Amino acid sequence: MKIPRTPVLLALFLTVGCGLRAADKMTITVSNALDTARPSETITIPWSDVNAALPHALLQKIAVKDAHGNSLPYQVTNIAPQAKDPKVIGAAYGELIFQHSFAAGEKTATFTVEKTDVVSPVFPVQAFARYVPERLDDFAWENDKIGHRTYGPALAAPAPAGVKKEVLVTSGLDIWTKRVSYPIVDRWYNKGHDHYHHDEGEGMDMYNVGGSRGCGGTGVWDGKTLYVSRNYASWKVIANGPIRAIFELSYDAWDANGVKVSEVKRFTVDAGQNLDRIDSTFTFEGAPEITVAVGLNKKNADKGQEPTVDVIKDEKLGLLAQWTVQKVNGALGTAVIIPADNFKGFAEDAVNELALTTAKSGEPVRYYAGAGWTRSGDFPTKESWEAYLTDFAKRAQSPLTVKVGE
């Protein structure tokens, strides 16, 4: 017998139907306290919150949508402490990650996460990190804006008798400039060592590290002398794109004027940003705290470039930066930012400009480091680089507020 849909039955049908659909969707509201634009902001949601709202959601069968219904690229990390997921409930997942660019004056943005019946697409990789055994033991990382590398123990080891081998002892951080948004690390290493010292349309390695801190390396400062580690001793990749890469580099203990110090750096590399977040944890005994210096190489230009280097300092923002104009390679901006509440002033030695902070044993110290190039099209002038850094520092001091289910 066909039952007519009376208003009461229709209301009940719609209520039940909506309830079923709501169980497959969650809402996320992100608030912004700044008036300026905030491009490529990374939003992170604990997977436990996703799983609570969407039980048994699968990382490959969800869709993240903005307020207009547009599907967004997303990433699910596996940095939660659980290693296994025998009940298939997402217990081994860490965070759901996606991005949004806030327009000037945009104070809130709303998103939904929904279960889907189909497998989500594979999103283009915009943040990437890896160990590079084909070039001794470099470790390299990049996003769509800039690239970096640093060096392991194999590069620091003396050359065996009769063997020609580069030897470099440094824990400084290198820069690879880019003029394309796609990944270049694998392509450049595959082209052969030193081929990337020439700009063939994608960018180049035009930065000099040597024994300096490079762009964002650290050391212990005693007021006169900078005590630094050797090349990294071990590495660990924690998350690897498409939006965020996270990895750690560990440095063996070194003597810092009588204090034995070791360090673990955790790098967080986000798409769309020219500066990486670095959380350095120093371990030591015999002192309540140490003064940590984060450095920029004073002589950072390629050979034969006859550079002019302008140094930019802003104590209120904890900002130390450079603008290096080279003869034929364009201009390169470099910077480190120490959040203002931990910034302790500037210093310098023979090879480095330094920004200072303090560290207690076992407690991470956060700072940001990175670069920008005129040929990328993003920074045509020194003023544009300074403006970017000012906005970046203010954004770091005013994090977004994320609420689930509101």
Spans of all domains in the chain: 7-123, 127-397
pLDDT of residue 393: 97
Predicted local confidence at residue 8, as pLDDT: 36
Distances (CA, A) of 282 to 112, 269, 308: 40, 21, 35
Extract the residue ranges of the chain whose pLDDT is less than 50: 1-22
For residue 41, the SS3 value is: strand
Q: What CATH architecture applies to the domain 127-397?
A: Distorted Sandwich (2.70)
Task: With CA atoms as reference, report the closest residue to 365 among 258, 298, 284.
Answer: 284
Q: Rg for the chain (alpha carbons), in Å?
A: 24
Q: Residue 321: beta bridge partners?
A: 312, 335
Classified as helix, coil or strand, 328 is coil
Give the separation between CA 356 and CA 292, rounded to whole angstroms: 6
- Provide the CATH topology of domain 7-123: Immunoglobulin-like (2.60.40)
pLDDT of residue 269: 98
Residues written for the chain? 406
pLDDT for the residue 356: 98
Query: How much is the pLDDT for 162?
Result: 86
DSSP alpha helices (H): ranges in 99-183? 153-156
CA distance 246 to 128: 9
Coil, helix or strand for 260?
A: strand
User: Rounded to 5 degrees, what angle do the CA atoms 143, 148, 150 make?
Assistant: 145
Q: Which two tokens stand for residue 4?
A: 């007519």
DSSP annotation of 92 reads: T
Q: What pTM was estimated for this model as a whole?
A: 0.92
DSSP state for residue 380 in the 8-state scheme: S
